[in-house]
A and B are shown apart, each in its own frame.
Chain A
Amino acid sequence: MTVPIIKLGDNLIITIQTEMTDDMAVEAQNKILSRIRETEARGLLIDLSVIDVIDSFMGRVLNDTAMMARLMGAQTVVAGIQPGVAVTFMELGLKMKNVYTVLDIEQGLELLKSLE
């Protein structure tokens, strides 16, 4: 099971389509970084609308990915955070660093456009 990455203009769109194991998350991270390199993307839009929970490992991978993408010149926007994810994220005291958050992909694309 690999994560599909779609190139749209200067942006990469990643839709996570299933809950992921740690290995899958790390593999996706590597794939995203190499795609940024290949496509010289300026923006990264990650859709998490099917994810029910971001645990401590996933939270770290997400933050790391955004930080790495930023070092490579791409901004990260996370879309589709579900209420349960938001609640548990807060309760864990986790922080989204280096990440913009929006409600859905449509808003995400608009935001990336305005960041250019």
Chain B
Amino acid sequence: MIVDLDITNELDVLFARNTAKCLAGEMGFSREDIARIDLAVSELAHNLISHAIQGKLILNKRFSSGQTVFEAVSLDNGPGIDDLERVFELGYSTKGSLGIGLNSVLEVVDELLIDSDAGKGTQVIVRKWLR
């Protein structure tokens, strides 16, 4: 199952969170893991509207080496990230926010892949394994 969402405003963020929760629930994740997925999707979607103004969020149920995996992919054509190393430093922010967004995502998912070209956009993939 693949859900493809355009994220342009905060209502889209709420919709994406709800969709992710439903999908994770159907997949059999525990309540705590659903909360973790909800949080990760919330931070990714917020990043899309605050840094890139708009973007796409793709929610996906996948199978990998015999395991069920929840995957969220965020895609945008925004300004990209100059210094990828620094985005995971606690308190690093270019927007004057707390700087815990991506860091917090890292804490609650099993896998986080990030790819960015300055000026071209950013792709973030997060995965949570069903246990």
Residue ranges of A at the interface with B (Cβ–Cβ < 8 Å): 19, 21-23, 52-53, 55-57, 60, 82-85, 87-88, 91-94
Contacts and interface: CB of A to CB of B under 8 A. Distances in A.
Given A21-B11, A22-B10, A57-B46, A52 B100 contact: no
A83 B98 CA distance: 24
Interface stretch (B27-35, B62-70, B75-83, B122-130): B27-35
Contact of B31 (A55, A60, A83, A91): A83
Interface in B13-45: 13-14, 17-18, 21, 31-32, 34-36, 38-39, 42-43
B5 interface: no
Given A22-B10, A92-B104, A92-B107, A84 B46 contact: no
Contacts of A23: 10
Contacts of B43: 55-56
A93 B105 CA distance: 12
Contacts of B17: 19, 53
A53 B35 contact: yes
A8 B14 CA distance: 31
B107 A91 contact: yes
Nearest to A94: B100
B32 A19 contact: no
Contacts of B36: 84, 87-88, 91
Nearest to A22: B10
B107 to A, nearest CB: 5
B101 interface: yes
A53 B35 CA distance: 6
A85 B36 CA distance: 9
A56 B101 contact: yes
